[in-house]
Amino acid sequence: MLCQPDTYVPQNWHVTLLYWAIIAFCVFINIAAGWLLPKFEGALLVLHILGFFAILIPLLVLGPQGNAKEIFTTFVNMGGWQSQGLSFCVGIMGSVFAFVGGDGPIHVSMLIKETNACHYNSQQSTNMLL
């Protein structure tokens, strides 16, 4: 694939074979080489941190620069919603939900004795707050 990109013709089974190779690697690391798992996780952590900066720095340096007023005050309704406000609220809903932490009480309730009652109460109170 990488050596001859001009002559390579992708087939469906190539992707399936790649997925099976990834699954086999994961099974091998988790079952046969469990002692290697912490080192592998540490290497992936370093890779993610370096990859973050490897992408962020070129974007900041080479990307188009705009002024702050234009960036933070221009709203575009490309979804076909009736108003800018509705478009803004629908668009931001997915991003905000990740930071709300609605599942936090559920995870905390798993650490408490008599989990069944506490788990149910934490779910209901979280739903009422959200």
Identify which of 27, 28, 29 has the alpha carbon closest to the alpha carbon of residue 43.
29
pTM of structure? 0.47
Give the pLDDT confidence score for residue 77 in this predicted structure: 84
Q: Please state, in angstroms and rounded to a whole number, the distance separating the CA atoms of residues 86 and 79.
A: 10
Domain extents for the chain? 1-65, 68-130
105 or 19, greater pLDDT: 19
Give the pLDDT confidence score for residue 120 in this predicted structure: 66
pLDDT digits (tens, 9 = 90+) for 51-91: 999 999 999 999 888 888 988 888 788 888 888 888 888 88
Phi, psi (rounded to 5 degrees) for 126: -65, -40
